Amino acid sequence: MELSHATYQALLPHQIVSTTGEILASPAGATPDKIGLIDGSRQWTFKELDQLANQFAQALLEKFGEGHSERMGPVGIIGKNSAEYFIAHFGISRTGTYSINFPTRCSVDDLTYTINLTKPSALIVDEDCLEIVEAARAQFEHQPLYISIGQQGVNPSIEFWDFFQGQANTQPAIEIKPEDNDTIIFTGGTTGKPKATLSSHLARAVSAMAGIEDFRVATDLVAGYSVPFTHTAGLCSWLQPAVLAGCTGVIIPKWDPEIFMQLAEQHRINMIFAVPSQMAVLLDHPTFEPERLKSIERIIFGGAPLARAIIERAEEAMPWMYCGRAYGSTETGHLAAQIKRDREAVYDAYNQPGGRIEIEIFKAPGVIAEIGETGEVATRGPHLMTGYLNDEKSEAGFFKSQETDGEWGWMGDLAVKHDGYFSINGRSKHMIISGGLNIYPAELEEVLSCYPGLKDCVVFGVEDPTWGETPVAAVVPKGDSIDGDDIMAFVAEKVAGYKQLRKIFVIEEISRTAAGKARIDEIRKQCLG
């Protein structure tokens, strides 16, 4: 692997990896006796974590791999951050198959759709997600082997630790190639259905290596794992770089400000990755005491649009703390980081990465923007996703296969090109990111279209101090009047909680182009002034 660019200057020789399994094996070899993970009262060294991942892999192969001679089907995980999730993730990566990371905040319909789409041979279920799995499982086209985490489990199932008890702790004799598929993480779809984003081992490795340099992740840091591992930001942008760097990691199972402050004090956490909504909830919490977080040197924000007010409040309350920003997506993993601390000069501005990650600003496909010009952000390199599972149309749209050679992945963000960095100034796609989760307006518009009494509608996002963005709708009634609260209740019954509409604007007409596309900017101005 060529690593001649500055992006990888911070890497030690043992941190140059090409597969996900090597991300854990690297610190296990370099610092075997160092504490690698803390989860409540439990803790493990890197060597112990590596061996547990091997045992889990061996058990999966024994169950599904027919004597290691054939590759098994994918393995799903649904649950909060935990040591079990950590071990399962790295264990699956050593079997020759890939992990499916199901979001915990989803509807029964979404879970049913994603299970039937991906067809996991096994599903690891946290007890906190037991209710939704039980509600959906009758609609699964096939029943996976259920492996339960916690005291309550799917019936029938096998308990997580019992599943691999007595297995050999050596790495399975399975050849893992960098180009092999490693993970599925879900993002929203233009049709309202979640998209299964499939990425390779090499994509995960390149993203992890870039993260070490961009976030300045030093081996002696204590990392707080606060963003869900089901999310790209939690798994790819933070967990994997921190593990590869050899950091001690502390599991934060759920974002509860009081629990977070307790863990930060107890373990002297130095660095966390957070979505903006987490910081907003922390700052507004009645027990928030900045002095309890004196050990934290850096917070890296990512996963959702970040209101400037949140950074300003955080830096005012905790002036010793550096608030940085990360840029990437489910399709790309980590791409770039904020270039310096002066938030006025570089707000929403990011470095041009080196190494094997390329970013360019295009005025049009094949036409590169000049310094000072605005264009769409595109990226190419081994960090790009393999594709969307069974969704060639969306995949072609991401790669703009009809307009380009397909080498570039298009982020849907508008940016100004500068000398050595770029600054985001808008999105060409009107996807809504609320609390780090993607909401596609088409899904909500489809639900709204079923409400009696509506002539037309459009959904768009508005800035929210807690969640980054929240969805609202502009509607045109068929008659003289309409009940906005009733409309929101109608939608709330049919979508996941984070997708619920926050406000209804009643207008006379939806402004549209000749092709029928809503003029979002005009409508937004009409509604918000």
Provide the pLDDT for residue 275.
84
Token representation of residue 211: 């993260």
CA-closest candidate to residue 235, choices 182, 190, 194, 282: 182
Tally of CB atoms within 10 A around 178: 19
Provide the pLDDT for residue 189.
47
DSSP 518: B
**How do the pLDDT tens digits run along the chain, 529 residues long?**
343 334 456 688 889 999 999 999 999 999 999 999 999 999 999 999 999 999 999 999 999 875 443 557 999 999 999 999 999 999 999 999 999 999 998 889 999 999 999 999 999 999 999 999 999 999 999 999 999 999 899 999 999 999 999 999 999 999 999 999 999 999 854 445 789 999 999 999 999 999 998 888 989 999 999 999 998 989 999 999 999 999 999 999 989 999 999 999 999 999 999 987 788 889 989 999 999 999 999 999 887 666 667 788 888 999 999 888 899 999 999 999 885 544 444 567 888 876 789 999 999 888 999 999 988 999 999 999 999 999 998 899 899 877 777 799 999 888 889 988 898 876 666 778 888 887 878 778 878 888 888 888 899 999 888 888 999 999 999 887 789 999 999 999 988 889 999 999 999 888 875 445 677 878 988 999 7
How far apart CA 18 and CA 203 sit, in angstroms, is 8
Tally of CB atoms within 10 A around 111: 24
Provide the pLDDT for residue 71.
57
Helix locations, 137-256, DSSP H: 160-163, 201-214, 232-234, 240-245
Provide the pLDDT for residue 427.
63
Amino acid at 418: H
Helix (H) or strand (E) run with residue 87 in it: helix 83-92
Query: Taking a C-beta distance cutoff of 8 angstroms, is the pair 519, 509 a contact?
Result: no
Cβ contacts of residue 259 below 8 Å, gap of 6+?
A: 252, 253
Provide the pLDDT for residue 517.
61
Query: Taking a C-beta distance cutoff of 8 angstroms, is the pair 216, 9 a contact?
Result: no
How far apart CA 35 and CA 398 sit, in angstroms, is 40
Provide the pLDDT for residue 29.
97
Query: Taking a C-beta distance cutoff of 8 angstroms, is the pair 374, 415 a contact?
Result: yes
Mapped onto helix, strand or coil, the DSSP state of residue 440 is: coil
In this structure, the dihedral spanned by the alpha carbons of residues 416, 421, 425 and 428, taken in order and rounded to 10 degrees, is 80
Amino acid at 79: G
Place of tokens 């027919």: 66
Provide the pLDDT for residue 343.
45
- Per domain, the residue ranges of the chain are 18-396, 432-528
Provide the pLDDT for residue 68.
40
| CATH assignment of 18-396, among 3.30.420.40, 3.40.190.10, 3.10.310.70, 3.40.50.12780 | 3.40.50.12780
How far apart CA 499 and CA 433 sit, in angstroms, is 10
How far apart CA 199 and CA 100 sit, in angstroms, is 11
Query: Taking a C-beta distance cutoff of 8 angstroms, is the pair 42, 82 a contact?
Result: no
CATH architecture of 432-528: 2-Layer Sandwich (3.30)
